[in-house]
Structure 1
Amino acid sequence: MAWTPPRLASTLPLALLLLAVVATGCADPASDPRANGPESRNAPGEPKGYCPLPEEQRATPSPCITFDWDARVAENHAYREPMQITEEQKKQATPRAEALATALRKLAETGTTEDGLRAAAADALGLRPVEIETRGDTFAPLRDVLVGGGEGKVCVNGRVDSTGQAEAEVVGRTNDGTCLPGLGGH
């Protein structure tokens, strides 16, 4: 009689029983007569699915789908479009735009930091620095930077170009809720 460690002797029958249970569960489902259902019209190997009956008339689809590409792109980018604002709203915000342009001209000459830009823009617009949006990273000297902020649907956006020229304008907030326009792209 061969010697078997006691632990192996007690687990071997359990392992064989488990293997037998698992192996019996691996039968071919197609051999089960219930697999096709009571009224299956499909031959073995054919895909199953819904096929309309001949009396169910459906409209014949067009061989090609037509669409206006410009309308599709405009729809995809509608979130970037500014909201409409009234002339009265523009008129009321114009002094803030002039104050922002003046602040940007000064900063373009002297340079600043991002925090300094936010503070100056917030002061010009009557907002808190955390309400100011910025885009760009050249602060000394201040170049190629966008800055904006506003209340409600009305925003004042300013920019300093690569030559140091500064300007600001009153615009509607974008449909996605920002003052600065979206970057776009995919």
Structure 2
Amino acid sequence: MTWMRPRLVAVLPLALLAVLTAGCADPAAGPRAGGPAASSAAPKGYCPLPEERRATPSPCITFDWNARVAENHGYREQLPITAAQKEEAAPTAKKLATALAKLADTGTTKDGLRSAAAVALGLRPEQVEMRGDDFAPLRDALVGGGAGRVCVNGTVDNAGHADAEVVGRTVEGTCLPGLGGH
């Protein structure tokens, strides 16, 4: 055992030196020195507000409120559909608008609205998406459904006016856009 100790004492400093020097890099190549690592296209930090002008510009994340809101509401984005798909679903939209107009005059229950929308859309009632609280009279209601990327969404406004449109399914996979909110 005593013969291993001198070898260990001799090899250990060399091993430590190898480990320490392997982790070192040229400081001139780092991002703070403007070397190759600094030229990446990724933004770094937030940009100053217009009233906080700096002498030299730096790469940063733009503080564009509208861009931030648009990104935050990305879940509402609709998948694109073709003109042919819109044209093919237009008769279904007309049926849904007619059904909603009839119910707006007479009022209905939640189940009644779901059933009428399902018939107009050619779906099962559980496939119909709904939003609204007051169905007697039918006001501020939103219903929708569809197959694949194509959805038909119908609305009844506060005045009882009914309308329907053909849209693409949202990126979340729903026909009705998400409510969002905080």
- The alignment's TM-score, normalised by the length of structure 1, stands at 0.67
The answer to whether the aligner puts 1:66 opposite 2:61 as a matched pair is yes
Poorly superposed stretches of 4+, deviation over 6 Å:
none
| Aligned mates of 2:172, 2:46 — CA distance in 1 | 37
Q: CA deviation at 1:70?
A: 2.9
* Alignment-derived partner of residue 163 in structure 2: 167
Residues 44-63 of structure 1 mapped to structure 2, 5 A cutoff? 55-57=26-28, 58-60=30-32
| Aligned mates of 1:62, 1:148 — CA distance in 2 | 42
* Alignment-derived partner of residue 185 in structure 1: 181
Residues 8-19 of structure 1 mapped to structure 2, 5 A cutoff? none
Q: CA deviation at 1:182?
A: 1.1
State which of 76, 100, 108 in structure 1 corresponds to 2:72.
Answer: 76
Amino acid at match of 2:133: D
2:46–2:61 contact (8 Å) kept in structure 1: no
| Aligned mates of 2:143, 2:117 — CA distance in 1 | 7
Tell me, what secondary structure is at the counterpart of 1:127?
A: coil
| Aligned mates of 1:137, 1:54 — CA distance in 2 | 64
Residues 15-30 of structure 1 mapped to structure 2, 5 A cutoff? none
Q: Normalized per residue, which structure has more helix?
A: 2
| Aligned mates of 1:62, 1:183 — CA distance in 2 | 30
Q: CA deviation at 1:71?
A: 2.9
CA separation of 1:54 and 1:173: change in aligned 2, threshold 3 A: closer
Q: CA deviation at 1:53?
A: 5.7
The answer to whether the aligner puts 1:114 opposite 2:110 as a matched pair is yes
Tell me, what secondary structure is at the counterpart of 1:124?
A: helix
Q: Identify unmatched segments of 5+ residues in structure 1.
A: 1-37, 40-51
* Alignment-derived partner of residue 125 in structure 1: 121
Amino acid at match of 2:134: T
| Aligned mates of 2:46, 2:117 — CA distance in 1 | 57
Q: Identify unmatched segments of 5+ residues in structure 2.
A: 1-15, 18-22, 33-43, 48-59
Tell me, what secondary structure is at the counterpart of 1:158?
A: strand
Q: CA deviation at 1:59?
A: 1.6
Aligned length: 137
| Aligned mates of 2:168, 2:25 — CA distance in 1 | 56
| Aligned mates of 1:54, 1:150 — CA distance in 2 | 58
Tell me, what secondary structure is at the counterpart of 1:143?
A: coil
| Aligned mates of 2:142, 2:81 — CA distance in 1 | 21
